[in-house]
Structure 1
Amino acid sequence: MKGIRTRLIVYFGLILLLIVLVLEGLFYWAVHTYYFGTATEALVTRSTTYTNFINKYATGYRLKDKARYILENASNEEYAKIEVLDVSGKVILNSYGFQTGEIIDTPDVSDALRGLTGIHVGKSPQTRERVIAVSTPLTFQGEYAGVLRYTISAEPLYHAVNQIALYGAGVGAGVVFFAFALSLIIAKRIVDPIEDLTKAAIQMAKGNYSARAAKRYDDEVGTLAETFNYMAAEIGKNEKLKNDFISSVSHELRTPLTSIKGWGETLISGGLEEPEETMLGLEVISKETDRLIGIVEELLDFSKFQSGEMKLSLERMDLREVLDDVHLQFAIRSQEKQVALQLEIPPAPLAIMGDFNRLKQVFVNLLDNAFKFTPRDGIITVTATETGGRLMISVGDTGEGIDADDLPHITGKFYKGRSKQSGSGLGLAICKEIVELHRGRLYVNSTLGEGTTITVELPAAKTINIATKG
């Protein structure tokens, strides 16, 4: 029974079979009790009534006289066998008019000789026929003189009870058959969607991320199918992002390597005889090397974040120092690109427990992106405020903005959206991870064609309690 379908059918069938057997047993017991109880009760009533009458109105009759009186006055329609026994259990007269001399020692006779109404259901010693016997005591001058015994055959009752039980068994068999058919249908409804899920999972394992499981029913399995399809869609998106990332990084690495190789070959072929050309080549090589280092560092940082190995060197610091340092670093780039860079920070210290280098990495990345997407004569503004124990640092630009469809995913790993600018797509994802390591949050607000504002929210030093991650 390896399959769910087989187990469901077998277990469901066994449970139904057990229930039917229990109900059949109860039904048989109820019918048996009713038929035999009714027959016994009727026999007891007639026997005790007649015995009381004889004991009351034939008090002067000895046992043999009582026996003859009883048989002479017995109804012609009496269907029970009547026997009169003496105190030893010997039959002195029966309803056929015979004195058989047979000794009857069944429990009902013993009870009757003790003054009780005895009942016996069993087989007749002579005929082996199943009978119901009721015995009541006969008295003479206040003493027990004998027994009046009524006996009827129980075979018709057994036949009737067995016949009804047979009909009940037929109905029970029909119920079991119907339940078995129903279990097949139920098992199919449960197993078929699971088999669809299994087939879809196998397709995904083979690399077909477009595989989907059909939702057949609005139940738990249907919910599982929806969840599986959502997972498949997300895996497909991540797979596409990964492929795009590999393609992007390959391009990003190829470009500086090509420049370095080209200028290296030029300098070698030129023999380093022209100083100006040599300096230009070395500057290009140095610049492209820095680009390579930046890409590799991003990949290393991303790897550390993924493995949970990133550690922070926390210290109490003034965030204004980080922002002044970054502002100074981008001052020359601001002049070269003719983009205004404005820094608006409060005169009071912005105290924070943080990692200076990592926070600087965040704002360098944010400003680098702002310069990439802000055209000539644009404005980039860095604003810092403290409100309610939280530091709010915003980097806003008047650049091209971000498409609304890209905005929810812009901080995701490998995501570059519709931008044609160079980059690995990891910058904002790493920034978000660093900010969250500082127990902060990063928000992105943008309007296409108008500009983008990225806000970093960090807890001030007096309220922060950071556990270093790593």
Structure 2
Amino acid sequence: MMKGIRTRLVVYFGLILLLIVLLLEGLFYWAVHSYYFGTATEALVTRTTTFTNFINKYTTSYSLKDKARYILENVSNQEYAKVEVLDIDGKVILNSYGFQTGEIINTPDVAEAMKGETGLHIGRNPKTKERIIAVSNPLLYSTEYIGVLRYTISAEPLYNAVNRIALYGAGVGTGVVILAFALSLLIAKRIVDPIKDLTKAATQMAKGNFTTRAPKRFDDEVGTLADAFNYMATEIGKNEKLKNDFISTVSHELRTPLTSIKGWGETLISGGLEEPEETMLGLEVISKETDRLIGLVEELLDFSKFQSGEMKLSQERMDIREVLDDLHLQFAIRSQEKQVELHLVLPSSPVLVMGDPNRMKQVFVNLLDNAFKFTPQGGSITVSAEASGDRVTITVTDTGEGINAEDLPHVTGKFYKGRSKLSGSGLGLAICKEIIQLHAGKFQVNSSVGQGTSITVDLPLDQDIK
């Protein structure tokens, strides 16, 4: 059995080329044979017919024997063909050598000549088995057929010449086949080697090496496949990194609140709940850390839905001012506790959008929570909305510590936590961006270190929603 594409390509190409060469060799042999024998036959027919017409014209009243003697006397000394005179029974009464052999010749050319036509025969001499070409023409006495003039030449030199040329052609054909096999090996190598590279790269990926890449040798279908493979490897590498970041982040984020809960739980148990102040403090810590865990779990669930494409929106027509006003009230107490001013700037007329109220509230809760988290005491946070044309722009601006220029392009990436010690799971802004994009909106973050951060949410107004 043939194994491997290279072997099959070489064998298939070789067989096709071999068949083509054999076909061309056959056509070449036929063409050479036709040319040589056609030329020789035409020349012999011409000489025979011309001489026979001459004899019939100038020896009309001669008997067959007289004609034979006249023919023998007028045959050129340079005539290489054998000339024979036959009677109506096909018996040789005289040949160019001067012999009366009495041989009976009944080849097709003689029979044709007896009918008044020029006969041609290519075959073998019955006695010598030599291959010959014979041409016969009728001899006339007045208007009566009395005999046959027959020219015969040996065809052996013609066959030898044709076979010699055919042998040369076969040598050339053999060289062509050998060259074709060599070229097919080269072509097969150029086709198979890139596939081998892809196979090696795929094997490395299967072993967990996601940094491997398949080299692109040519700009063809295999090259396109190499590009697709490398793109797939890049995406798998990203997903692998995302998975590792996910595990690392979740482990870290879960460990901190769980450690606090476990520590205070053990403290309360060992204390026997005898000190009310310590008990209340512990319960408050446990409650806060539990809320952190709930928030983290919710973020992870949202992230999972976004990754699987299962996030569904319950859209309805709503006034975005109401959502922002509710949040202003919700964060008022936190504003007082942290001594950070919270300003709300809204248009006087309704700002109607189509969206999921709960998801929209989730976005701005996250943005305000981040703003309070990174804005120091004495700072300020401003939430503003402005409608223009068919869009509305909501901006959350703080006077907090800001974001490093190196971190800014990545803050909306999944699990990117930046350099701040106050960073959370790294999913908050990524989820906000996904929610806004599901609402056909735009999400943009601008920030400078020490000057604060401004996050802009751009949404289509209701009249754009068909």
1:456 alignment counterpart: 457
CA distance in 1 between counterparts of 2:33 and 2:245 reads 81
Query: Any conservation in 2 of the 1:241–1:415 contact (CA below 8 Å)?
Result: no
* 2:14 partner amino acid: G
Task: Please report how far the alpha carbon of residue 60 of structure 1 lies from its aligned counterpart in structure 2 after TM superposition.
Answer: 2.7
Any residues of structure 2 matched to 1:244-255 within 5 Å, and which? Answer: 244-255=245-256
CA distance in 2 between counterparts of 1:59 and 1:143 reads 10
2:356 alignment counterpart: 355
- Give the superposed CA RMSD: 2.9
Query: Any conservation in 1 of the 2:416–2:427 contact (CA below 8 Å)?
Result: yes
Any residues of structure 2 matched to 1:137-216 within 5 Å, and which? Answer: 137-216=138-217
* 1:274 partner amino acid: E
2:137 alignment counterpart: 136
Task: Please report how far the alpha carbon of residue 89 of structure 1 lies from its aligned counterpart in structure 2 after TM superposition.
Answer: 4.0
1:85 alignment counterpart: 86
Q: Figure out how many residues of one structure are paired with residues of the other and give that number.
A: 465
Task: Please report how far the alpha carbon of residue 124 of structure 1 lies from its aligned counterpart in structure 2 after TM superposition.
Answer: 2.6
* 1:395 partner amino acid: V
CA distance in 2 between counterparts of 1:42 and 1:254 reads 110
More divergent stretch after superposition (158-167 vs 232-241): 232-241
Do the aligned partners of residues 250 and 119 (structure 1) sit closer, same or farther apart at CA in structure 2, a change above 3 Å counting?
A: same
2:338 is the counterpart of 1:332: no
Query: Any conservation in 1 of the 2:404–2:449 contact (CA below 8 Å)?
Result: yes
Do the aligned partners of residues 96 and 252 (structure 1) sit closer, same or farther apart at CA in structure 2, a change above 3 Å counting?
A: same
* 1:411 partner amino acid: T
Query: Any conservation in 2 of the 1:249–1:423 contact (CA below 8 Å)?
Result: no
CA distance in 1 between counterparts of 2:407 and 2:26 reads 70
Any residues of structure 2 matched to 1:194-343 within 5 Å, and which? Answer: 194-217=195-218, 220-343=221-344
CA distance in 1 between counterparts of 2:87 and 2:449 reads 119
CA distance in 1 between counterparts of 2:209 and 2:417 reads 24
Task: Please report how far the alpha carbon of residue 255 of structure 1 lies from its aligned counterpart in structure 2 after TM superposition.
Answer: 0.8
Query: Any conservation in 1 of the 2:257–2:293 contact (CA below 8 Å)?
Result: yes
1:468 alignment counterpart: none
CA distance in 2 between counterparts of 1:295 and 1:375 reads 24
* 1:19 partner amino acid: I
CA distance in 1 between counterparts of 2:35 and 2:401 reads 93
Task: Please report how far the alpha carbon of residue 9 of structure 1 lies from its aligned counterpart in structure 2 after TM superposition.
Answer: 1.6
Do the aligned partners of residues 79 and 302 (structure 1) sit closer, same or farther apart at CA in structure 2, a change above 3 Å counting?
A: same
2:343 is the counterpart of 1:345: no
CA distance in 2 between counterparts of 1:70 and 1:379 reads 136
2:366 alignment counterpart: 365
- Give SS of 1:98's match: coil
Task: Please report how far the alpha carbon of residue 102 of structure 1 lies from its aligned counterpart in structure 2 after TM superposition.
Answer: 4.0
Do the aligned partners of residues 407 and 180 (structure 1) sit closer, same or farther apart at CA in structure 2, a change above 3 Å counting?
A: farther
Query: Any conservation in 1 of the 2:249–2:415 contact (CA below 8 Å)?
Result: no
- Give SS of 1:462's match: helix
Query: Any conservation in 2 of the 1:252–1:422 contact (CA below 8 Å)?
Result: no
* 2:23 partner amino acid: V
Query: Any conservation in 2 of the 1:242–1:414 contact (CA below 8 Å)?
Result: no
CA distance in 2 between counterparts of 1:160 and 1:103 reads 31
Task: Please report how far the alpha carbon of residue 335 of structure 1 lies from its aligned counterpart in structure 2 after TM superposition.
Answer: 3.7
Task: Please report how far the alpha carbon of residue 70 of structure 1 lies from its aligned counterpart in structure 2 after TM superposition.
Answer: 2.2
* 2:22 partner amino acid: L
* 1:424 partner amino acid: S
Residues 337-381 of structure 1, C-alpha deviations (whole Å, 9 max, x = no match): 444444333233222222111121222223333444444554544
* Superposition TM-score, scaled by structure 2 size: 0.88
* 2:290 partner amino acid: T
Task: Please report how far the alpha carbon of residue 293 of structure 1 lies from its aligned counterpart in structure 2 after TM superposition.
Answer: 0.5
More divergent stretch after superposition (131-140 vs 151-160): 131-140
Task: Please report how far the alpha carbon of residue 163 of structure 1 lies from its aligned counterpart in structure 2 after TM superposition.
Answer: 1.5
Task: Please report how far the alpha carbon of residue 294 of structure 1 lies from its aligned counterpart in structure 2 after TM superposition.
Answer: 0.8
Gaps of 5+ in 1: 466-470
CA distance in 2 between counterparts of 1:231 and 1:444 reads 30
Query: Any conservation in 1 of the 2:392–2:461 contact (CA below 8 Å)?
Result: yes
CA distance in 2 between counterparts of 1:198 and 1:211 reads 11
Task: Please report how far the alpha carbon of residue 331 of structure 1 lies from its aligned counterpart in structure 2 after TM superposition.
Answer: 3.1
Residues 309-351 of structure 1, C-alpha deviations (whole Å, 9 max, x = no match): 3222222222222222233333333444444444333233222
Do the aligned partners of residues 64 and 196 (structure 1) sit closer, same or farther apart at CA in structure 2, a change above 3 Å counting?
A: same
Query: Any conservation in 1 of the 2:417–2:423 contact (CA below 8 Å)?
Result: no
Task: Please report how far the alpha carbon of residue 33 of structure 1 lies from its aligned counterpart in structure 2 after TM superposition.
Answer: 2.0
Query: Any conservation in 2 of the 1:389–1:459 contact (CA below 8 Å)?
Result: yes
Do the aligned partners of residues 283 and 49 (structure 1) sit closer, same or farther apart at CA in structure 2, a change above 3 Å counting?
A: same
CA distance in 2 between counterparts of 1:121 and 1:91 reads 19
Residues 93-122 of structure 1, C-alpha deviations (whole Å, 9 max, x = no match): 333333444444444334444444333322
Task: Please report how far the alpha carbon of residue 50 of structure 1 lies from its aligned counterpart in structure 2 after TM superposition.
Answer: 1.9
Residues 219-269 of structure 1, C-alpha deviations (whole Å, 9 max, x = no match): 554454454344434433432332122111111111111111122222223
Residues 115-144 of structure 1, C-alpha deviations (whole Å, 9 max, x = no match): 443333222333222222233343333454
1:24 alignment counterpart: 25
Query: Any conservation in 1 of the 2:48–2:135 contact (CA below 8 Å)?
Result: yes
Do the aligned partners of residues 248 and 26 (structure 1) sit closer, same or farther apart at CA in structure 2, a change above 3 Å counting?
A: same
Query: Any conservation in 1 of the 2:340–2:381 contact (CA below 8 Å)?
Result: yes
More divergent stretch after superposition (128-137 vs 214-223): 214-223
CA distance in 1 between counterparts of 2:271 and 2:249 reads 33
* Superposition TM-score, scaled by structure 1 size: 0.88
Query: Any conservation in 2 of the 1:382–1:394 contact (CA below 8 Å)?
Result: yes
* 1:367 partner amino acid: L
CA distance in 1 between counterparts of 2:180 and 2:230 reads 34
Do the aligned partners of residues 149 and 232 (structure 1) sit closer, same or farther apart at CA in structure 2, a change above 3 Å counting?
A: same
Do the aligned partners of residues 332 and 15 (structure 1) sit closer, same or farther apart at CA in structure 2, a change above 3 Å counting?
A: farther
- Give SS of 2:396's match: strand
1:69 alignment counterpart: 70
Residues 196-231 of structure 1, C-alpha deviations (whole Å, 9 max, x = no match): 322222122112223333445565544544543444
2:127 alignment counterpart: 126
Residues 404-430 of structure 1, C-alpha deviations (whole Å, 9 max, x = no match): 555554433333344543322222332
- Give SS of 2:463's match: coil
Residues 268-320 of structure 1, C-alpha deviations (whole Å, 9 max, x = no match): 23333333332222222111111101111111122223333322222222222
- Give SS of 1:128's match: coil
Any residues of structure 2 matched to 1:27-46 within 5 Å, and which? Answer: 27-46=28-47
